[in-house]
Structure 1
Amino acid sequence: MIGIDKIGFATPKYKLDLTDLALARQTDPEKYHSGLLLDEISIAPISEDIVTLAASSAKDILTKDDRESIDMVIVATETGIDQSKAAAVYVHHLLDIQPFARSFEVKEACYSATAALHYAKLHIEKSPESKVLVIASDIAKYGIASAGEPTQGAGSVAMLITSHPRILAFNDDNVAQTRDIMDFWRPNYSDVPMVDGLYSTKQYLDSLKTTWKEYQKRTGLTLEDFAAFCFHIPFPKLALKGLNKIMDRSLTPEKKEALSLAFDDSIRYSKQVGNIYTGSLYLSFLSLLETSSTLKAGDRIGFFSYGSGAVCEIFSGQLVDGYKDMLLANRQENLDKRTALSVEEYETLFYEKPQFDDKGDAAFSSYDKNAFYLSGMTNHQRQYKNTEEDA
């Protein structure tokens, strides 16, 4: 049995209320709240990046034994900080993981964390005593007053994969699909992505429909076999359309209601954090685990992973007895503690860039921090610090 033994989450300490953004953009707030099913989005200052988020999301779930046993660190991201050095190498160091471990980064838009989990599973099948740390970390930025602006977000989900999981055991039922399309992409020379929004939405839903059909053909399973289904969430309303796309008339009214209630639980965190790209599917899973009152051990959970470009995958897992003991009780309290920004303050953070001197050095302003933060640059080298060292 291989699966998720521990799961952690980190998001920046700042948030933007989408009512405030809507009014500033002369838009009806209901366009965001009802049209996107979003209420707030997390905003990352210059001192927060995918490394600080990744390390912060993993820090509290790892014990000393974990750090000595982990022999692979994989960071999935589409907002990498370097074209050569993997974010996983920084994370490996910040978390003080034993040196004889592979550390690398994977990319395929929002899908790559799913590929990382599959790679981790294959590795542990060969080496059952191994532990693999898989982290999905991203900062979604589109542009001031752009169509995608209200769907921005930032966060990281860390998952410890082992042969004795205490949260979810993976099933061997993965079905993937690849399409060479241009629905969302970001060339190296652009700070923000290029998006064909309507086309991307159609591709997401059609990829789901066709992959689900193939999944049913190969496995013989139907939605009646699932207690809940988690989706990649560019914005929650699209995931809701996805659920409706695969719910057919053969489902009993009771099952439809149960799946709908589970879906509502699965989007609670995303409605407050926004799109976190590679981590959004797994934030959905975390939200489901921590807010649902009906799940039980043995329940089958479905997952739909989608990354523009495009690759998607459907797979499932079974909840493990005692999984509730592995969860955080005060997640909502932590989300509520984020500092609310005015639209003007958010725009200032959005445009802030490093100011380098002739030596390639730059110091950053001080902002509210998670466990790790980026203090500046020295000779164009990123300088990370642990907040415990500042105490």
Structure 2
Amino acid sequence: MTVTVGIDQMGFYTPHLYLDMTALAQARGDDPAKYHVGIGQDKQAVIPPTQDVVTMAANAAAQILTPADQKTIKMVLFGTESGVDNSKATAVYLAHLLDLPADTRAIEIKQACYGATAGLQFAADYVRSHPTAKVLVIGADIARYGLRTAGEVTQGGGAVAMLVTANPRILALDPVSSYHTADVMDFWRPLGRSEALVDGKYSTNVYLDFFRTVWTDYQAQTHRTIADFAAFAFHIPFTKMGRKALRQILPEATPDQQTALTAAFEASQLDNRNVGNLYTGSLYLSLLSLLRHGNLQPGDRIGCYSYGSGAEGEFYSGRLQPDYRAGFNDAAVTALLAKRRAVSVAEYEELFQQQLDLTGTDVQLPVGTDPAPYYLAGRQHQQRQYRHRSEA
């Protein structure tokens, strides 16, 4: 008997600070339209030193997990390229913060922005053979290119948490996917660097080429066409990138279908426009934005394109379930985004420099200014000090 497996719940977290792209454009001597239209970004999450990928993942997961869920989680798969240790997995820190059972596998997955998708597919395979188990999949990152760099406008950060189960409430994954890997130097972060190196135009071209490759292969495997899809969600480090990918395949659709797919894309990029780049979480914030803002119906098939520089791409699909809106807390996400505080460019630059450095020196952080339930209190003896407000 085939077990239906997929995404049962989704949670999202980004810190309480953001930078308006008009302010950044003016400070850098650029036309704001270059950022709002040319790149497709309106706001960018600003990450205080009291937040890292572990705390953001915990805050996202806490949005969805019940005590009953915690007891049945058998695996944590943490996709990130912003890990906090070269040996110990972010998933281990997270499992402890969430008080998950000791008989839980906890693994970190790294392949640029693709890591969370690998985690989702590994989780689905596990649940197919262990139908009573639940797997927590995380996509969390802090996108850093440096002040006054070409990539500065595509920074951001946050975390998406997904609970993968049998008989999911949100999205039942189709069993077929298509993936493609090549050794490409379009984006990388050498050891010892906190900011990435990127060849932006080249990376965009590779992203588009990979999308065409996996889309064509997916069609050959499934014999499906664009007419079988109600919407597509893309990895969008900046929203204009996903728009370019969609435009590659829109000519395959009828005029009415093109209108519907374009409207669905607009819904899928709304939240990303106001958060920025999540690296591994980018596709999944796009999917959540589509669920929150799109005109979708149960049974609709959604296509998802994941891309991680270096490079690996995957296209997969799933069917929207009847009770999909019960799988995420729409009001909580709306409130989270609405309650953020705008920072000036000067504040943003100061906070950018306050991230924990690589020296390993002891430090205490200004935790009183961070309203999040989970936060980073500092570092002692080269060990990060994670806290929950109920324990403070």
TM over 0.5: yes
Is 1:121–2:138 an aligned residue pair?
Answer: no
What secondary structure does 1:138 align onto? strand
2: distance between equivalents of 1:49 and 1:245?
36
2: distance between equivalents of 1:318 and 1:387?
38
Q: 1:165 to 1:32 in 2, by over 3 A?
A: same
The number of residue pairs the alignment matches comes to 387
What secondary structure does 1:108 align onto? coil
Candidates 285, 290, 293, aligned match of 1:283: 285
Q: CA deviation at 1:61?
A: 0.6
What secondary structure does 2:296 align onto? coil
What secondary structure does 1:295 align onto? coil
Is 1:137–2:137 an aligned residue pair?
Answer: no
Q: CA deviation at 1:356?
A: 10
Match of 2:311 in 1: 310
Match of 1:327 in 2: 328
What secondary structure does 1:173 align onto? strand
Q: CA deviation at 1:198?
A: 0.8
Is 1:43–2:46 an aligned residue pair?
Answer: yes
Is 1:34–2:47 an aligned residue pair?
Answer: no
Candidates 141, 145, 149, aligned match of 1:146: 149
What secondary structure does 2:137 align onto? strand
Match of 2:273 in 1: 271
Match of 1:19 in 2: 22
Whether contact under 8 Å (2:59, 2:374) holds in the other structure is yes
1:41-92: per-residue Cα shift (whole Å, max 9, x none)? 0010111000000011001211111111001011100111100000000100
Match of 2:366 in 1: 365
Q: 1:354 to 1:301 in 2, by over 3 A?
A: closer
1:287-343: per-residue Cα shift (whole Å, max 9, x none)? 000112x20111000000000000000000001111112232322332121111000
What secondary structure does 1:176 align onto? strand
Letter in 2 for 1:84: S
Is 1:300–2:314 an aligned residue pair?
Answer: no
Whether contact under 8 Å (1:137, 1:156) holds in the other structure is yes
Q: CA deviation at 1:265?
A: 0.3
Letter in 1 for 2:276: G
2: distance between equivalents of 1:356 and 1:72?
30
Aligned-pair identity in percent equals: 48
Of 329-338 and 107-116, more deviation after overlay is shown by 329-338
What secondary structure does 1:172 align onto? strand
Q: CA deviation at 1:240?
A: 0.1
Whether contact under 8 Å (1:354, 1:363) holds in the other structure is no
Letter in 1 for 2:343: L
What secondary structure does 2:39 align onto? coil
1:95-136: per-residue Cα shift (whole Å, max 9, x none)? 111110100100000011111111111111221111100000
Q: 1:96 to 1:26 in 2, by over 3 A?
A: same
Candidates 56, 60, 67, aligned match of 1:57: 60
Q: CA deviation at 1:369?
A: 3.0
Give the TM-score of the pair, scaled to structure 2.
0.96
Candidates 212, 219, 222, aligned match of 1:219: 222
Q: 1:260 to 1:353 in 2, by over 3 A?
A: closer
What secondary structure does 2:290 align onto? helix
Alignment of 1:75-94 (within 5 A): 75-94=78-97
Whether contact under 8 Å (1:290, 1:328) holds in the other structure is no
Of 332-341 and 36-45, more deviation after overlay is shown by 332-341
Whether contact under 8 Å (1:369, 1:387) holds in the other structure is no
Q: CA deviation at 1:346?
A: 0.2
2: distance between equivalents of 1:261 and 1:388?
43
Whether contact under 8 Å (2:13, 2:336) holds in the other structure is no
Letter in 2 for 1:92: A
> Stretches of 4+ moved more than 3 A in 1?
353-357
2: distance between equivalents of 1:115 and 1:268?
25
Give the TM-score of the pair, scaled to structure 1.
0.97
Whether contact under 8 Å (2:38, 2:240) holds in the other structure is yes
1:141-172: per-residue Cα shift (whole Å, max 9, x none)? 11101001011000000000001201110001
Match of 1:350 in 2: 352
Is 1:388–2:367 an aligned residue pair?
Answer: no
2: distance between equivalents of 1:3 and 1:230?
16
Match of 2:208 in 1: 205
1: distance between equivalents of 2:361 and 2:208?
46
Alignment of 1:110-259 (within 5 A): 110-248=113-251, 250-259=252-261
Q: CA deviation at 1:173?
A: 1.4
2: distance between equivalents of 1:360 and 1:265?
44
1:204-258: per-residue Cα shift (whole Å, max 9, x none)? 001111211111111111111001000000100010000001112x421110000
Q: CA deviation at 1:353?
A: 4.4
What secondary structure does 2:120 align onto? helix
